Amino acid sequence: MIGKVIRSVKITLPNPIGTTNPLMANSTSLPTIAPEVFPQQAPANGMFISLGPQHPSTHGVLRVAITTDGEVVTSAQPDIGYLHRATEKLAEKRTYPQIIVLTDRLDYLAAMTNNWSYCLAVEKLLGVAIPERADYLRIIVGELQRIASHCVFLGTYGIDIGAFTPFLIAFGRERERIIDLFEEICGARLTYNYIRIGGVMADSPDGWETKVSKFVKEMYGRIDEYDTLLTYNPIFMDRTKNVGKMSQEMAVAWGITGPNLRATGFKADVRKDDPYGLFSKMKFDIPVGKQGDCWERYWVRIQEMRESLKIIEQALAAMQPGETMGKIPKTFRVPAGEGYGHLEAPRGDLGFYIVSDSSPSPYRMHIRAPSFINLQVLQVLLKDWKVSDVIAILGSIDIVLGEVDR
């Protein structure tokens, strides 16, 4: 609906960025102050707990306003916006290649897939073809990024549940290896800016592929180690099994994507449903859960790491030497129109919706951030669970506040 409005205006307005923005036209009818949805006072029969914004287990600056009756949560309202940086607005003032830098800062644990998703949208608008080697490199770094991101999830979830060691094992050992690989290929360790419009920034250095395949071989054993350390630990299973159950209908109704959706048994993966890049050539399974509790959300991610390893092996085997950058001029204008590129990011379906008016920068960029959408379900998901379970559920949804607040 909104897309329609913009499209109709885009044709009539020569300068769409300005005071005549149609969305602002009837701004008087919009509420000027956000409605007070967060109870600040304790209810008559219970306690009010403000979990965050500075709290060890909200994974950033999230605040959850919780009212409890004893230990049982009666209402929970996530309060976001502490990390808002107006990425979408900033994008309207930058040229297309410059926006890649902004996307790095969204989900800072999975910058590669952010770059990729944005580039997919722009490439769709431009209609350029990408060299095959670049596509394979994208798959390799994208899947490595998924493993790295899930390693962080595993570690921090372990800390949420009280186990300290998985964090330093997964975060400090395996993720570090992946980040070293990334550093070698693009020079950065967190914000890579590696995947560019039309290809990738640079070809892999000598010996990089053998290092990756060596890592992949080792990683199978490491994941088995995680299984013994955390996944099948009886205390961990006690804490997470049958906790925070999400039904399939609920997940679909709230727009949940990614591992959280798959844990409910819904087989949905952008890599299969709407294959991008060369994923149509890859053979891999989509792990799904049964009842969508915390443990299955965790387990689905662990299985996904194994599948990612398989994909990397296939990509490494199929990759041939060649160009890594398509024929793209230094400066370019994107033809007027709209493009939507989405992919399976570690946290779900990450989409970039770009409206171009054939100027050097987009007229509007919208980011479909999976963390933001997955976060919404907390209001109903946290209800009727104990305060300790709040932490387990919050951690299992796996949000990154950089993406939630954009």
Partner 1 sequence: MLELGPLLSRAFQALQSWVILHGVPPLAAWILAKAIQVGVLVLLVSLVPMVLVYAERKVAGFMQARLGPMNVGPYGIFQTLADGVKLIFKEDIIPVGSDRLMHIMAPMVVVSPVFVCFAPVPFGKGLIPIDLDISVLFIFAISGISTIGVLMAGWGSGNKFSMLGGLRGAAQLVSYEIPRVLSVVPVLMVYGTLSLKSIAMGQVGLWHGFLPKWFIFYPFIGQLAFVIFLIASVAETNRTPFDIPEAESELVAGFHTEFSGLKFALLFLAEYAYVFLSSAMAVALFFGGGDGFTLGGWIPSWFWFLGKTFAIVFLFLWFRWTFPRLRVDQLMQFCWKFLLPWSIVNVGLTGLMILLRK
* Farthest CA pair distance, the chain: 69
Provide the b/e sequence for 115-136 (b: ≥16 CB within 10 Å): bbbbbbbbbbbbeeebbbbbbb
Q: Does 3 bind partner 1 (CB under 8 A)?
A: no
The rounded distance, in Å, linking the Cα atoms of 90 and 225 is: 43
Q: Which is nearer to partner 1, 31 or 234 (CB)?
A: 234
Structural Rg of the chain based on CA atoms: 22
User: Count of residues binding partner 1 (CB under 8 A)?
Assistant: 32
For partner 1, the binding residue among 134, 151, 159, 178 (CB under 8 A) is 159
Nearest to 105 by CA among 191, 226, 182: 191
For partner 1, the binding residue among 173, 189, 281, 383 (CB under 8 A) is 173
Number of neighbours of residue 94 by Cβ within 10 angstroms = 16
By the 8 A CB rule, do 179 and 189 touch?
yes
Q: Could you tell me the two tokens for 155?
A: 């570690």
The rounded distance, in Å, linking the Cα atoms of 102 and 349 is: 18
Positions in 358-387 near partner 1 (CB under 8 A): 386-387
Minimum distance from residue 401 beta carbon to partner 1 (Å): 16
Q: Which is nearer to partner 1, 106 or 381 (CB)?
A: 381
For partner 1, the binding residue among 154, 311, 391, 393 (CB under 8 A) is 391
For partner 1, the binding residue among 43, 162, 187, 322 (CB under 8 A) is 162
Q: Does 90 bind partner 1 (CB under 8 A)?
A: no
Q: Which is nearer to partner 1, 162 or 322 (CB)?
A: 162
Q: Does 399 bind partner 1 (CB under 8 A)?
A: no
Q: Does 172 bind partner 1 (CB under 8 A)?
A: yes
Q: Does 296 bind partner 1 (CB under 8 A)?
A: no
Q: Could you tell me the two tokens for 192?
A: 């890579």
**Number of DSSP helices (H) and strands (E) in the chain, helices first:** 18, 8
Q: Does 55 bind partner 1 (CB under 8 A)?
A: yes
**Region near partner 1 per CB under 8 A, out of 153-161, 199-207, 344-352, 356-364:** 153-161
Minimum distance from residue 219 beta carbon to partner 1 (Å): 15
Q: Does 160 bind partner 1 (CB under 8 A)?
A: yes
Q: Does 216 bind partner 1 (CB under 8 A)?
A: no
Q: Does 148 bind partner 1 (CB under 8 A)?
A: no
Q: Does 61 bind partner 1 (CB under 8 A)?
A: no
| Per-residue interface string for the shown chain with partner 1, residues 219-248, x marking contact by CB under 8 A | ----------xx--x-xx-xx---------
Minimum distance from residue 244 beta carbon to partner 1 (Å): 12
Minimum distance from residue 235 beta carbon to partner 1 (Å): 5
Minimum distance from residue 229 beta carbon to partner 1 (Å): 8
Q: Which is nearer to partner 1, 159 or 270 (CB)?
A: 159
Q: Which is nearer to partner 1, 238 or 285 (CB)?
A: 238
Strands of the sheet containing 364-368, edge to edge, are 337-345, 348-356, 364-368
By the 8 A CB rule, do 235 and 159 touch?
no
Q: Which is nearer to partner 1, 118 or 171 (CB)?
A: 171
Minimum distance from residue 59 beta carbon to partner 1 (Å): 10
By the 8 A CB rule, do 117 and 274 touch?
no
Q: Does 66 bind partner 1 (CB under 8 A)?
A: no
Find the angle CA(239)-CA(245)-CA(80) to the nearest 5 degrees. Answer: 90
Find the angle CA(126)-CA(342)-CA(127) to the nearest 5 degrees. Answer: 15
Axis crossing angle, helix 132-161 with helix 208-226, rounded to the nearest 10: 30
Q: Where are the alpha helices (DSSP H) in 229-281?
A: 234-240, 248-253, 259-262, 270-273
Q: Which is nearer to partner 1, 55 or 94 (CB)?
A: 55
The rounded distance, in Å, linking the Cα atoms of 47 and 43 is: 6
Q: Which is nearer to partner 1, 60 or 348 (CB)?
A: 60
Q: Does 389 bind partner 1 (CB under 8 A)?
A: yes
Nearest to 114 by CA among 94, 93, 95, 141: 141
* 3-state SS assignment for residue 78: strand
**Secondary-structure breakdown of the chain: helix, strand, coil percentages, each rounded to the nearest 5:** 50, 10, 40
Positions touching partner 1 (CB under 8 A) are 47, 49, 55-57, 71, 158-165, 168-169, 172-173, 229-230, 233, 235-236, 238-239, 386-391, 395
